[in-house]
Amino acid sequence: MRYLSFSYEGRVSYGCIVDQAVCDLGRRTGLPDLASHIADRFPTLGWEADLAPDYSLSAIRYLPVIPDPRKVLCVATNYREPGDDGAARPEYPLVFSRFGISQTGHEEPLPKPEVSEKFDYEGELAVIIGKTGRRIAEAEAMTYVAGYSCFNDGSVRDWQKHSSQFTPGKNFARTAGFGPWMVTSDELPDPGALDLVTRVNGETRQRNNTSRMIFPIAWLISYFSQFTVLEPGDVIVTGTPSGFGSSRQPPEFLKIGDTVEIEIERVGTLRNVVADESQNQDNFR
């Protein structure tokens, strides 16, 4: 089943896809958001009863799948590229975090920061946590997953490189696309074999498969849970393949008007258009 967060005629809610339309679960359950629904219904997530379509997909405004997560935990790179299969795995991944305000939804503008000419894209698989866990064994880690989504870890490279810490360049408002929805884990029993493609204006820039992750999903969940409590609605962004703008020769950064698509097999396609930050101030409310 596919779950999403959205607004309809100015009212924020969440729901699931039924017959290519939206069933408004927020109106039915009274729970405030999708993270709360996941926490309340995790054992039966994906098996909703008495569903009926309420709104067409064209009538809603997509929000980030989890609009205000307590934690967005991210991994840098994390894919083996052709020719490096024999390379030694680093002992630990490079980890950073994002704030909820740095996210935006499917088909929403990605505001290009006025203070930078190095706005970049990174196509990634996002993992949404379904139940609370601490010091989770790797063998049990996948039982904590609610579902999966597409994520564009939009990066402001010059600000990212101000120091060895990534925080500034990863947290400009609404620079990360997250969506369009969450596909529940029962529909993706093997998320370690999914094709991932990033396109800019229709041109393929990144292509790889989640089977080539250096640190697999279960390992990441276990690792993160050693130092923090994972909670329903927390998001783990699992890293990107090569081909992002700053890795290309010469570098190719995003411009106003560019369309970025992140497509992940059996999950969906996240699409955003790069916009003029000065003309999208309503995105920073």
Q: In angstroms, rounded to a whole number, what is the distance separating the alpha carbons of residues 232 and 103?
A: 18
DSSP state of 107: T
Q: Which residue has the tokens 């596909």?
A: 183
Residue 141 identity (one-letter amino acid): A
Q: What is the pLDDT of residue 285?
A: 46
Q: In angstroms, rounded to a whole number, what is the distance separating the alpha carbons of residues 161 and 151?
A: 21
Q: What is the pLDDT of residue 222?
A: 98
Q: What is the pLDDT of residue 89?
A: 84
> Which tens digit of pLDDT belongs to each residue from 11-50?
999 999 999 999 999 999 999 999 999 999 999 999 999 8
Alpha carbon 154 to its chain's center: 10
Q: Look up residue 73 and give its two tokens.
A: 């935990």
Q: In angstroms, rounded to a whole number, what is the distance separating the alpha carbons of residues 153 and 224?
A: 18
Q: In angstroms, rounded to a whole number, what is the distance separating the alpha carbons of residues 30 and 251?
A: 48
Q: In angstroms, rounded to a whole number, what is the distance separating the alpha carbons of residues 238 and 263?
A: 15
Q: Can you say whether residue 49 is alpha, beta or left, with left for phi > 0 and alpha for psi between -120 and 50 degrees?
A: beta
Instruction: Name the strand (E) or helix (H) holding 27.
Output: helix 25-29
Within the chain, which residues score under 70 in pLDDT? 281-285
Kindly report the CA angle at 89 between 85 and 94, in degrees rounded to 5? 125
The neighbouring-strand residues paired with 61 are: 7
Q: In angstroms, rounded to a whole number, what is the distance separating the alpha carbons of residues 278 and 285?
A: 14
Q: Which residue has the tokens 């609404």?
A: 174
Q: In angstroms, rounded to a whole number, what is the distance separating the alpha carbons of residues 220 and 210?
A: 13
- Torsion of Cα atoms, 277 then 278 then 279 then 285, to 10°: 70
Q: Look up residue 245 and give its two tokens.
A: 């703008």
Instruction: Name the strand (E) or helix (H) holding 222.
Output: helix 217-227
Q: In angstroms, rounded to a whole number, what is the distance separating the alpha carbons of residues 254 and 178?
A: 18
Determine contact, residues 226/87, Cβ cutoff 8 Å: no
Q: In angstroms, rounded to a whole number, what is the distance separating the alpha carbons of residues 195 and 193?
A: 7
> Which tens digit of pLDDT belongs to each residue from 49-87?
989 999 999 999 999 999 999 999 999 989 998 878 777
- Provide the whole-model pTM: 0.96
